[in-house]
Each structure stands twice: as structure tokens, then as C-alpha cells.
Amino acid sequence: MKKLLSILATVVALVALGVTTLSAATPTDRSVKILIMPDHLDWNYKCGEKPVFRVLVLKHHSPMQNVEINYELSEDNMPAHKSEKMVLKAGEGKIQLGTMKVPGFLRCEVVVKDGDFSYTGWATAGFDVEKIKPTVENPADFDEFWKRALEESAKIPMEPKLTPAPEYSTGTYTAYYVQFQTYKKSVYFHGLLTVPNKPGKHPAVMRVPGAGVRSYAPMTELPLDKFVVLQVGIHGIPVNLPKEAYRNLSRGALYQYNRFNIQDRDAYYYKRVYIGCARAVDFLSELEWVDADRIAVCGHSQGGALTYVTTYLNPKVKYYYAHYPALADLTGYLHGRGGGWPHLWRNGADANIDKAAALKTIPYYDVVNFARRVNVPGVMACGYNDRTCCPTSMFSVYNVVSSPKELALYNEIGHWLYVEQEHERSKWLQEKLK
């Protein structure tokens, strides 16, 4: 009975924190839960140590009896090197993970079938994570390349246009749809701007987007009666089109845009995106409502990547907050370890890409090389179970940052956020920009 009570107490605590998920998307509560608990509370180990993971399978919050589990062990985002079955008599067992000889991450995935449904849980051990180094090269002319690109784009007038968005406006703030030229003539960024109705100049936050094509709504995690907030779209299309239009673009003209012209560093899709983000800060800083000395940038995934990029390219950015940055250490898979989204050359993919040419482009766009050059305070938020932006790639970013930095680590999360994390980001930004 004491053992069962101990198990249940652990379950209550872990479920409250959302330790397990059914998928890599938003956490979903289901009747069967799989809890995987490393024997180090911080999930961190030294190279050569051998973690033991405790597994607990529950149904209706009670341990499942004689339940068969299938588990796989793998290095971060790499193919499994061990797959086995185990029967847990009282819903509980232990899995020996082995070890790693070099800094990185070792993941355990457990699958349970119950009736017509299959359930999955993950946990990931980190090994000397502070020693993870990037694989991507650091070009000697990196700064010159981007300085020249910024100078060329500065010759293009922004010609900003603000259109009221009454459907998003309230008694405390006013919303606008915006557009402005960025990289070349007739190359536009579009976005959604919210401005406090209270007179005066206010701190400003620019939110850069995650991957995909979509519309935008106000960023209500921040007090919009006190902050000017600009959310930008990167694809040169309005951000208030019907959902069907974005769906058609994502499946058609913009499908796999992250690979467009990757063999040419001057024509790669992200060049206009990166320059556009830098110019968006200029647009924001010149608004009559904005205190140009109090500007921050934030974003998730692709937006986490663009957060680092924008912070380096525009010195008007004073703070940044990057959630699980993508586009990081893109050459990882070529070195036998996990690489960042969009997972170039993973498991033999991208055979149609000229690798030699792409490898001349990638170093100029890899977030690692922007992060090593940022010189303002910031935060990186991430989790060890992220399989979209794998932690190996994200720590390749974090470890090269030399300016003041903070790590907001929720070990158990995948490629999603808790509400508590959004609250932490809002609190941090408000404190820094007050």
C-alpha cells in the first residue's frame, strides 16, 4: 500500500506538470498515461553515466496490470539503436538506457496499446549538454555578407501603410493591418499591429512567426494596453486572408519554402525573410507610439530562429526571448547526429539538393552563426523531448551565445508550450522593457 501511495503521489505531481503527451503537438489528456522518469531529477548526466528510467503506465489513474510495453532507445532524432518489449506486472518497471561517450541526448520512447488505441510517452537524458558544439561552419565573411545585404535593402523606401482592423480593436488598444517594403521594390512584409489607446510612447515587442502560412490575431499574452506589438508575416501576403487561401499556399506554391534556392546564398528564400525582419524593427521603431529604446523580439520555432537573426541584424533590438529555435545546426545529420528543423538530409532525404552548393549557403543562414554574434540579454526556452527542433541543435545555439543569457528549461516538453511558459515570457519582457 505504501508503495502504491508513493506511486500515486508521484503521478499526481507529474501529471500536474504535463510530463507525458500523446504526440509532439499540444498535450492531450487520455485514459492511459505513460510516465517516464529519469533517475536524475534534472535529467542531466555526465558522459559515461548510465541512466535508469522508471516507467509507470496508468489507466484511469491506476497502474495497469500485466501491461506490455514496446520501447526504443535512440540518440537525439537518430534511428533507434535498441527496440525491445517488456511486461510490467504492476504497471511499473525500469529501463537501462546505456550511455553516451560524447555530449548529446539519449531518448527513450515507450508505446502501449490498449484496445484500438496506441499511446506514446518520451523522456530524454542529456549528457554534458553545456559542452555540445555546433557542426556548422562559421564563415569568415559572414558579417560582411549581411552588412552588404542590409545596405542594399536600406535603399528601398519602406512606404508603410496602416489599415484599421476594427475586428481586433478594443477600448484599450487599436489594431491595424500593416504592410511595408523590405528587401527589394515591391517585396513586402505584412503584419498585425496593436497600439495602446493611452497617449505617449510605449515599449514595443515584435513577434516573428513560426513555420507555415497563416493569419494572425492579437498577442494577448502581453498587456496590449501598455505595449505596442507587431506580428509580422514573412511570405509577402496579407495576414487576413481566408483560411483556405493559406491552406492552398502551404500545400502548393509555398510547400517546403524552407528549401527554395538553397543552393544559392544570394537567392535563398530566407534572405528576403531575414532582411525583412530586420527592416520590420526599423518600421516599428519609427512609429509615433513607440519608444525606440525599448524594443524586444520574440518567437517560437522558426520564430525562435528569426528572433536570434533579427537581434543580430538590427541593433535597435534590446532584448530577445526565443522559444525552441529552428534552423539551427542544419548540418547535424551529415555528422551523425540530430540537426535542426527542417531536417536537411535526414535519413537519406533531399537527394534532389546539390549538397556541395547548399553547404556553401547554409552557414550564412544557420541560426548558430547569428546567436554567436548577439550582444544583448536574452532567453532561450526549450525542452528535452522536442523532436521537431531537437535539443542537440538548440544547445548548439545556446552554448555559443556570449552575451548575458538565461535558459528557461522545461525538460519534459516537446514542440509546444505550457501556459506557464507564456506567462514567464510576458513577465520577463515586461520587467526588461519597463
For residues 314 and 182, give the distance between their C-alpha atoms in angstroms, rounded to a whole number. 13
Q: Where are the alpha helices (DSSP H) in 171-227?
A: none
Residue 334 DSSP one-character state: G
Contacts of 124 (CB under 8 A, 6+ apart): 43, 76, 105, 106, 107, 108, 384, 385, 391, 411
Pick the closest to residue 122 from 213, 20, 226 (CA basis): 20
Contacts of 247 (CB under 8 A, 6+ apart): none
Spot the catalytic one: 74, 301, 396, 426. Answer: 301
119, 27 contact by CB (below 8 A): no
415 catalytic residue (yes or no): yes
3-state helix, strand, coil in the chain (%, to 5): 25, 30, 45
324, 383 contact by CB (below 8 A): yes
Alpha carbon of residue 207 to chain centroid: 13
Q: What is the SS3 string spanning 121-186?
A: EEEEEEECHHHCCCCCCCCCCHHHHHHHHHHHHHCCCCCCEEEECCCCCCCCEEEEEEEEECCCCC
For residues 317 and 233, give the distance between their C-alpha atoms in angstroms, rounded to a whole number. 18
Please name the helix (run of DSSP H) or strand (run of DSSP E) that holds residue 230, with its range, or none: strand 228-233
301 catalytic residue (yes or no): yes
Pick the closest to residue 284 from 424, 189, 402 (CA basis): 189
81 catalytic residue (yes or no): no
Distances (CA, A) of 271 to 155, 249, 276: 16, 20, 8
Bridge-based pairing of strands 319-323 and 405-409 is unpaired
Residue indicated by cell numbers 505550457? 418
Spot the catalytic one: 386, 393, 396, 426. Answer: 386
Active site residues: 301, 386, 415
